[in-house]
Structures are given as C-alpha cells and as structure tokens.
Homo-oligomer: A and B are copies of this chain.
Amino acid sequence: MLERIRIVLIGTSHPGNIGGVARAMHNMGLTDLALVAPRCEAISADSISRASGADTLVHSAQVVDSLEEAVSDCSLVVGASARSRTLPWPMMTPRALGERLPEELQHSESRIALVFGREDSGLSNAELQRCHAHVHIPTNPDFSSLNLAAAVQVLAYECRLSWLSHQDQPASDDDEVQPLATHEELEHYFAHLERTLIAIGFHDPATPRQLMARLRRVTLRSRPERMELNILRGILSATEKAAGKVAMGQRSSDESSSDNHH
C-alpha cells in the first residue's frame, strides 16, 4: 500500500528540503517521490546530507515539468494547503486522510498523490483545483507555516499508522472493486466538458466566473469510477455532435434522422 502513495513537491527552492522530505518518507516506508519543476538542483551536497541515508529516494525521484505529469496515473490527488480559499474545496484532516487510504488503495492499480507547494507560497489556486481534496495540518494560527519536510513527515506518519492498522485485513479481490478514474482521465473529461460548454454557448472563457472550478469541485467530490466517466464523456460527445449540427445550421429534422445511425 505505502509504495502506491506518491509525494509530489512543486517548485521546491532548497535542496535541503528535498533531502529532508526523502528522509521523512523513507522513515515512514514511502518510496515514490516526484519533483515538479524544482527551483534548485535536486541532487546536491545539501539534499544528500539532509537525506541522511535516504539518498536512494533523492536519486530515484522523478523530475517532471508539470503537476499533470506527476499525478496523471493517480485516482486520488490531495493537496496540502494552509490557506483557506475563496472557493472552498473538500477539506480533510491528516488523520481522516490516513483512515481513507486503505479503501482508496483497495484496487491494486490505484495510486494516490499528496501534493506540496513551494516553501514561500504553497500551491496556487489552479493547482489546488486539480486536487480532489485539500488536507490541512492543524497548526498554531499565529505560526502556521510548517517546514516542507515537517509537513511531509506528519502526513507520511498518518499514512504509516493507517497501513499498520490494516496489516491484518484480508486483501480485497480486484474484480469486486471498480477502478476509479485517474487524474489524467479526469483532466481529459474536464477539457472535453469545457469545449462542450463553449460549443453550446454556456461558457465564455473570457468571463469564466469560476464555472469550471465549480464543476471540477462537484465532479471530483463524487470520485467517479472510470466506467462512469466514460458515460459522462459519451454524453459530451453526443452534446457536441448535436451542437455542431445546430451550428452548421442543420434542421431539427436532420437530428432526428441521425438517431437511426445509432
């Protein structure tokens, strides 16, 4: 289970923090580290020294350009966030996150990502809106900014506790569990949805009014299965097709005749 939990660091500035994160992960049995557009050399004297023996994780870290690439195969993406946002997102505590993991990772294909932002500014709103949920580590309100490695330590600790308490549970049968849509599948869906909404004149990217953010939120909250997402995409294709015909000035009589093709 622990090997299918990925720690994703975005835009890290200090190599020491990458090393500290690697050590915290390895201490708790996590192994999968991805660095999105780091603003420093990942492999340096500082990072290796702070890793203090966990340098394998630093060396094997996947370095990618975008959050998309880092989490495309994940069915649950959780962003660590200290700030409350104008558009509130589903929030969970680190403990609740831990408790959810065994179920989330029930299907052997499932992977989850825990995403951490920059040392100075955290995650952007766009990044947070790519997450299913946000996790907030309870802190002193007068001094809430945790060191990056410390934040990873707390979440990795909750992951390990959860794993330990589910060690004796019987493994589930993959056939009984429907795989959830991955992040990549969801993002294809959202892109498709946005195209469709523009096509039908419902959405104007020039005045977005958080429409896509709100649709993301409601969709992500439902945790769609892959099969469900395929249905939704089928609906979008049908909508586009219908809208395209209208746009091309076709008559409604043509539409009804096109039903025969199905």
Task: Name A's B-contacting residues (CB within 8 A).
Answer: 20, 23-24, 26-29, 50, 52-54, 94-95, 137-140, 143-147, 149-150, 153-154, 157, 160-161, 164
Contacts and interface: CB of A to CB of B under 8 A. Distances in A.
A204 B50 CA distance: 47
A157 B140 contact: no
Contacts of A52: 145, 147
Number of copies of this protein chain within its complex? 2
Q: For the complex, would chain A's binding face be called helix, strand, loop or mixed by DSSP majority?
A: helix
Given A138-B164, A154-B157, A146 B27 contact: yes
A207 to B, nearest CB: 40
Contacts of A53: 143, 145
Contacts of A147: 20, 23-24, 50, 52, 149
Contacts of A27: 139-140, 143-146, 150
A52 B20 CA distance: 16
15 contacts: A20-B147, A23-B150, A26-B143, A27-B139, A27-B140, A27-B145, A28-B140, A52-B147, A54-B143, A95-B161, A137-B157, A138-B157, A140-B160, A149-B150, A154-B154
